[in-house]
Structure 1
Amino acid sequence: MSNQRIVHLECGKSTQVLYVLGTVINIDIYKPSPPGCRSFEVTTSPGVNYSISDKQNGSVVTHPAIRWALIKDSLLRVTVGQVSSAANDGKVKITFYGDDLDKPVDKMTLELTAVYVSLDVDADRDGIVEENNPNKSSWMWGPEGHGAILLVNCDKELLTTSEPDNMDDKVYTFEDLADMSRMIIRTEGPKLMPAGYTLNLHISPSDKKKVQLFRHEISSVTSVLGRTKELTAMDFTKGHNKIIFSAEGLAFPDNKTATLVTFNLSVVNQQLPIFTDQVVLHFAPWIMTPNTQAPEEVYVCSSPGNEKFLIEFKKFVQKAQCKLTICPVTEHAGDIWMQDEIEFGYIDAPHKFMNIVMDSPRNRGLKNFAYKFLLGRDFGRIDVKSDKIADSLDGFGNLEVSPPVTVNGKEYPLGRIVIGSHLPIHPDGRKMVKETQDLLMAQSVQSPIILYSDWLHVGHVDEFMTFVPAPDRKGFRLLLASPLSFYSLFKRLQKEGHGEAMMFDNAYRDPIKINDILKNQALHERNTHVQHCIDWNRDILKVELGLDEADIIDIPTLFKPTKAKTHVGAYFPDMVNMIVLGKYLGIPKPFGPLINGECALEAVVRSALEPLGLDCTFIDNFTSYHIGQGEVHCGSNVRRKPFTLKWWNMEI
């Protein structure tokens, strides 16, 4: 709302108005002037300032008791520099003169009660609600930016409550208020205030569904705005006052235009606002953490048949010095795919950090894991819901994020999200539900990339790509599954006289010779097509992540048709589908041919990754995960440390 306001005066009368510091009152002098008047003069009480403006001369700063010629467009602009000590103590008197310059014709008077009103938030993002920040009503990204931040309050402070804190209109503990954004109304006025003025705090109908505001009383905290309420009214009380509120986000935005919430504070008289102050808050985005971020906690399931895997996996996690949480069989109902059910991330504001787990709409046996094992104090949950029946691509093995990158001069300091989908020319193919994709797109800070993964039986991007840390270049390497590298390796081994060496020797299926694999022409042709699919994604990733060939490492992989024939799955345990814990890599044991006592596939991977300072541990997940179309990464999950960079300091 404009800080300018028109007030109409009448000759022979005194008009009383409430004036809000920082605004301008405009008074038309010409229209109410008596007939025959030629000039006028203005006198004011101390602290009341004015200027005269007209269309011809613009504004002219004046001094008391200066007479002015009365012309058609004369406009008096009045401001007050301090709060009134008593009601109506600010005076503006306008005296009119005709031909006799010593004899006044008439006069009109304005009496002002000056008050101070400010709606305040943490607009400079330092954790403190400063007073009347000039940038509080807008948002700007970057280290020199401004604008307050709002968190979705989706953790649970009390174990006795059944839902996240943002699901009701109650505040059960003072700790819950720490998750919210502080907002303050500050007012100053004389001890005796004019009657009939109220303070109205209001939001738009669309914003009321996104935010809830609590007012702090002496002995309680009450919901006053949001959900079903668009307006709350308060009396404009005398003296110096500070009314404290706390705002919580109710849901993560699902489109980019919904990331801002606006609160308006109006001074109202006779149901009309005479002044409006405004603040804008930006929802904190949900941020995923890439493999290059240090691990904090690892999650996996126990189930009949994966005892041997768990023994090896525990040793690996212990070596990486990470905390391990194991979901018992009684809690997952045979759904051992921990990666597919949840994705870890966080939200952050100057006043609060919160871990947030996103819960997939797949809703199989692990559907209650995030709710029962993770949701708690400072650990929130996003429950993605969809009317569409979830398919395989809705599992979060199909949701990854790159390390930070710079692409053609544009920085992505929090990396970029990677999602698998169908080819654009095949719109009827499988893809993530719209609700998940819309939510991810709306977070803005990790601009998603869409890849082609529908050629896989499961259809997840983690089946053909992952990222590992590196000490040089961009700080990481992209690992890509490569049938071409597999055939190149096996042809070399055959040429070196190892054609009779066996795949799967001492494994869980019938061994097969290198020679027999290489002479399977149908398998080779299918993997040629697979390589084309991976190369299609390779080209996208190089462009979207600003990668060179030296940033990519090809990992020998072989795929085979599944029962559906139209899709493929891993022929042997897919080594790209690994878990990354700092420099420690938990890699599916491939059961490749033994050459001089060493697995040839493991040797190739070691030679590619160990020079980067990475420690490779090959874990047997053949019966526990591989035969179910997954590997180590599919069956585990990692919560990682957040970025040190604050997202609001990004340049968008």
Structure 2
Amino acid sequence: MASQRAVRLSLKKPTHAVCVVGVKTYVDVRSDIPKEAKTFRVSGSPGVEIFIAHDPARVIEPTYKDHWPLDSNVDVTVSVDTASKALSDLKVKVSYFGEYEDHALGHSVLFLTGVDISLDVDTGRKGKAKRSQVDKKTWRWGPEGYGAVLLVNCDRDSLSSSGPDLANRQLMSLDDLKDMSPMVLTCDGPDKLFHSHKLVLNVPFSDCKRVGVFCARGGNSLSSYKQVLGPQHLTYEVERQPGEQKISFYVEGLTFPNSDFLGLVSLSVSLVDTGTLPEVPIFTDTVAFRMAPWIMTPNTQPPLELYVCSVIDPHGSNEKFLKDMSDLALKANCKLIICPWTENRNDRWIQDEMEFGYVEAPHKSFPVVFDSPRDRGLKDFPFKRILGPDFGYVTQKIPLAGPSGLDSFGNLDASPPVTVGSKEYPLGRILIGSSFPKSGGRRMAKVVRDFLKAQQVQAPVELYSDWLSVGHVDEFLTFVPTSDRKGFRLLLASPSVCLKLFQEKKDEGHGEAAQFDGLKDQVARSINEMLADRSLQSDSAFVQKCIDWNREVLKRELGLTERDIVDIPQLFHLKGSYAEAFFPDMVNMVVLGKYLGIPKPFGPIINGRCCLEEKVRSLLEPLGLHCTFIDDYLSYHKLLGEIHCGTNVRRQPFSFKWWRMVP
């Protein structure tokens, strides 16, 4: 809102002024007064409200309240409650009196033209632009918060577009309007007023590359909508038609919050008096928007689509893997999407290429794929095959040095909603692997970390993953949904639990039972041999320390207790200074609701059953989960990955509305 305007009165001729509905105008009753005047009286025609403010410590309120002293501590303001039908159809009269006289010494007349100017957006977050009593210039988080929300228009509603809709300066599809937030300009007043006044819509220079505005003139033609503000247009002189009282606009976001952008943008409209030089804005109304963040979904959200790659496999194992994935998706009532070899160019690591999330505003929500900077065989798949109508796309370009292994999105995970002390994270927290606590080493690119942090709603936690050869967090942790009150468990790979299990089996007389028994092209290792292998024991002790460091960070940052963690038996061995899974890494699983696709560990067979599988079943099935062990040995494990690395899942968004939280 503009600062309060001042109008000076004259005894010689009437004064004319424009008064915006609901906005007080200061009336200077002391600028031109009769010589002997000591008091004044003010009156107004119907439709005009008059306010007299005074300092009671310095001014004695008169017995007859219509006579006020001409004192600097007495101020007069006026306002109008409706737009005028004609110019100067409202009147304010000020009469001046001597100290002891009832006869007026002179009069000043102020003619007002009421005009209703208001820029309104969905401050109440109900999906419609509506007038509100809250401060439209501010944006507030939380259950009692307010302020409008913008979606980054990063989907592609028209297949004739070469990229996301936000790159287009003209409307390519009427469906695109559904992705934009409504904004309404009220401009009610006498038509003649707009012969000498104009309305100008503005976007600050700092925001012009972050927001676009389309003016709507009705109809079903694309030409009825034109972009009036954006990177190429900082101002727009509103084309008001005679008798027009409301003009509709649609607002789109052009960029997500980032290290140089907190997510807030503003737009304003000014009523400008063109009869002065220079032209003077006499009223400005401003609205604020917050860009909707990209939100990542954890394993605990119900699955919608399971993605997996079909690759050329000399062992023929990929075909069986795809069949197993199809069966698992069918159990989970989840759609299976197979990326063919022609599109993945034999790059099977679809988890590393992208991460699914979503954006949401009160009026609309749609999924958004975050394309990782790894750019291998699958590099074009997210943009060419996933970007489309109501399916957005975002990526972050990294410096010319290129990505490290930790920039792949197997190194990106999200926790379920958690409470840490008194701090709530209703959308969970993002987890990324790093070189901590080691100095130096590999770390996820700063531009990606900055992007994730800037979304604000899933405050990232950095874990230590650089002890692994591949270096991804999904190699030692995952979350699974449970049917109990807690609602989830954190699964951690555990060498110590695995060695304890093997020791128990040895003590029971099964020391000759062998890991990898019967597995082609792999040397079997008996329980006795593994327990006697000092190198394997030393490697396991090192890995356990690395995982335990992360365990404490996860407990602290996610508010977890030991009861919330399940240790999954798993061995690692060192290749040089980095660790690799000794047998298929069971934590690196795909989670489809209560159905788990777990890498088959090929553990020692005891009484006809794999003791590792039996141990995992005993840990997870009482939680309401169903374990399916899938052979990924040749197709993924031998290539330093597992099932989670070779799959990707799009999940249901949270029911919780992100704007109701307090970051």
Q: After TM superposition, is the score higher than 0.5?
A: yes
Which of 479, 486, 492 aligns to 2:491? It is: 479
Measured in 1, the distance between the counterparts of 2:398 and 2:459 equals 22
Q: Partner of 2:612 in structure 1?
A: 601
How far is the alpha carbon of 1:62 from its aligned partner?
10
Q: 1:591 aligns with which of 602, 611, 614?
A: 602
Deviation for aligned residue 1:259: 1.6
Instruction: Output aligned runs, 1:42-191, within 5 Å.
Output: 42-56=42-56, 66-98=66-98, 101=101, 104-191=104-191
Q: Is the 8 A contact 1:52 1:60 kept in 2?
A: no
Query: What is the aligned counterpart of 2:310 among 302, 312, 315?
Result: 302
| Equivalent position to 2:410, from 397, 401, 404 | 397
Distance 1:276 1:4 in 2: 11
CA distance in 2, matches of 1:116, 1:440: 42
Is the CA contact (8 Å cut-off) linking 2:83 and 2:189 kept in structure 1?
yes
Contact 1:51–1:62 (Cα < 8 Å) also in 2: no
CA distance in structure 1 between the aligned counterparts of 2:588 and 2:286, rounded to whole angstroms: 50
Distance 2:138 2:189 in 1: 27
The partner residue of 1:512 within 508, 522, 525 is 525
Shift in alpha-carbon separation, 1:510–1:24, aligned structure 2, 3 A: same
- Does the CA contact (< 8 Å) of 2:123 and 2:132 recur in 1? no
In structure 1, what is the Cα distance between the partners aligned to 2:507 and 2:43? 105
Could you say what secondary structure the match of 1:178 adopts?
Answer: helix
Structure 2 matches for 1:79-478, cutoff 5 A? 79-98=79-98, 101=101, 104-193=104-193, 195-218=195-218, 219-234=223-238, 239-255=243-259, 258-269=262-273, 270=276, 271-305=279-313, 306-387=318-399, 388-424=401-437, 426=439, 428-478=440-490
Distance in 1 of aligned mates of 2:61 and 2:568: 77
Q: Are 2:552 and 1:539 equivalent residues in the alignment?
A: yes
Q: 1:18, 1:586 → 2: CA distance?
A: 71
Q: Partners of 1:399 and 1:477 in 2: how far apart?
A: 18
Q: Aligned Cα RMSD in Å?
A: 2.2
Letter in 2 for 1:151: L
What is the distance in 2 between the residues matched to 1:614 and 1:324?
A: 20
- Number of aligned residue pairs: 649
Is 1:523 the counterpart of 2:536? The answer is yes
What is the TM-score normalised by the length of structure 1? 0.95
Q: Do the aligned partners of 2:61 and 2:68 also contact (CA within 8 Å) in 1?
A: no
| One-letter amino acid matched to 1:12 | K
Instruction: Please tell me whether the aligned partners of residues 576 and 587 of structure 1 are also in contact (alpha carbons under 8 angstroms).
Output: yes
Of 649, 656, 659 in structure 2, the residue corresponding to residue 638 of structure 1 is 649
**Cα distance 1:262–1:320, how it changes in 2: closer, same or farther (>3 A)?**
same
| Distance in 2 between residues matched to 1:58 and 1:450, nearest whole Å | 62
Q: 340-349 or 69-78: which moved more?
A: 69-78
The alpha-carbon deviation at position 309 of structure 1 amounts to 2.1
> Is the Cα–Cα contact under 8 Å of residues 3 and 22 in structure 1 kept in the other structure?
no
Task: Give the drift of 1:194.
Answer: 6.0
The whole-number CA distance in structure 2 between the counterparts of 1:220 and 1:60 is: 61
Structure 1 residue 184 displacement after superposition: 0.6
Q: What SS does the corresponding residue of 2:238 show, helix, strand or coil? A: strand
Partner secondary structure for residue 642 of structure 1: coil
The answer as to whether partners of 1:197 and 1:268 remain within 8 angstroms in 2 is: yes
**Shift in Å, 1:75:** 2.5
Instruction: Go from structure 1 to structure 2 and tell me whether the alpha carbon gap of 1:52 and 1:322 turns closer, same or farther (over 3 Å shift).
Output: closer
Q: 2:509 aligns with which of 465, 475, 497?
A: 497
Cα shift at 1:222: 0.7
User: Offset at 1:255?
Assistant: 3.7
CA–CA distance in structure 1, aligned partners of residues 325 and 50 of structure 2: 78
* Alignment partner, residue 577 of structure 1: 588
> Using a 3 Å threshold, how does the CA distance of structure 1 residues 56 and 64 change in structure 2: closer, same or farther?
closer
Distance 1:515 1:114, change over 3 A: same
Deviations 1:28-73 (A, max 9, x none): 3234324332222323222222233344558999999933332344
- Per-residue CA deviations over 1:317-369 (Å, capped at 9, x if unaligned) read 22323211111111112211000001011111221111111100111111111
CA 1:132–1:553 in 2, change beyond 3 Å: closer, same or farther?
A: closer
CA distance in 2, matches of 1:421, 1:62: 75
Cα deviation for residue 220 of structure 1 reads 1.6
Query: Does the C-alpha gap of structure 1 residues 349 and 256 become closer, same or farther in structure 2, counting only changes over 3 Å?
Result: farther
Q: Is 336-345 or 96-105 further displaced after alignment?
A: 96-105
Match of 1:617 in 2: 628
Indicate if the aligned counterparts of 1:43 and 1:64 stay in contact, CA closer than 8 A.
Answer: no
Aligned-residue offset at 1:602: 0.9
- Distance in 2, matches of 1:59 and 1:402, equals 64
Q: Hey, what's the Cα distance between the residues in 2 that align with 1:470 and 1:625? A: 27
The amino acid of 2:622's aligned partner reads: P
**Contact 1:51-1:59 at 8 Å conserved across structures:** no
**TM-score, normalisation: structure 2:** 0.93
SS at match of 1:365: coil
3-state secondary structure, aligned to 1:4: coil
Query: Which string of whole-angstrom CA distances, capped at 9 and with x for unpartnered residues, describes residues 72-128 of structure 1?
Result: 444221122222121011122223334683654443322110111111111111112
Contact 1:361 1:384 (8 Å CA) reproduced: yes
Mapped to 2, the partners of 1:59 and 1:546 lie a distance apart of: 61
Q: CA deviation at 1:14?
A: 1.9
Task: Tell me if the contact between 2:2 and 2:285 (Cα under 8 Å) persists in the aligned partners.
Answer: no
> Is the Cα–Cα contact under 8 Å of residues 311 and 347 in structure 2 kept in the other structure?
no
Q: Could you list the per-position Cα deviations for residues 295-316 of structure 1 after superposition, in whole angstroms to 9, with x for gaps in the alignment?
A: 1110011112222322322222
Residues 1:96 and 1:576: Cα distance change in structure 2 (over 3 Å):
same
Q: Secondary structure at the match of 1:209?
A: coil
- Contact kept? 2:59, 2:73, Cα under 8 Å: no
Residues 619-648 of structure 1: per-residue CA shift (max 9 Å, x gap): 111111111110000000011111222222
- The worse-fitting range, judged by mean Cα deviation, of 140-149 and 158-167 is 140-149
Specify every segment of 5 or more residues in structure 1 that has no aligned partner in the other structure, as ranges: none
Of the structure 1 ranges 5-14 and 279-288, higher mean CA displacement relative to structure 2 is found in 5-14
Deviates more, 1:550-559 or 1:278-287: 278-287
SS at match of 2:257: coil
**CA 576–72 in structure 1, closer or farther in 2 if over 3 Å, else same:** closer
Greater shift in the superposed pair: 91-100 or 182-191:
91-100
Query: Equivalents in 1 of 2:512, 2:23: separation in Å?
Result: 90
**Aligned AA for 1:625?**
Y
Deviates more, 1:212-221 or 1:171-180: 212-221
Q: Against the structure 1 CA distance between its residues 558 and 538, is the aligned structure 2 distance closer, same or farther, given a 3 Å change threshold? A: same
Deviation by residue 1:425-464 (Cα, 9 ceiling, x = unmatched): 51x2211111211111121222211111111111110000
Kindly indicate whether the alpha-carbon contact (under 8 Å) linking 2:216 and 2:247 is maintained by their aligned counterparts in 1. yes
Given residue 52 of structure 1, which amino acid in structure 2 is its aligned partner?
I
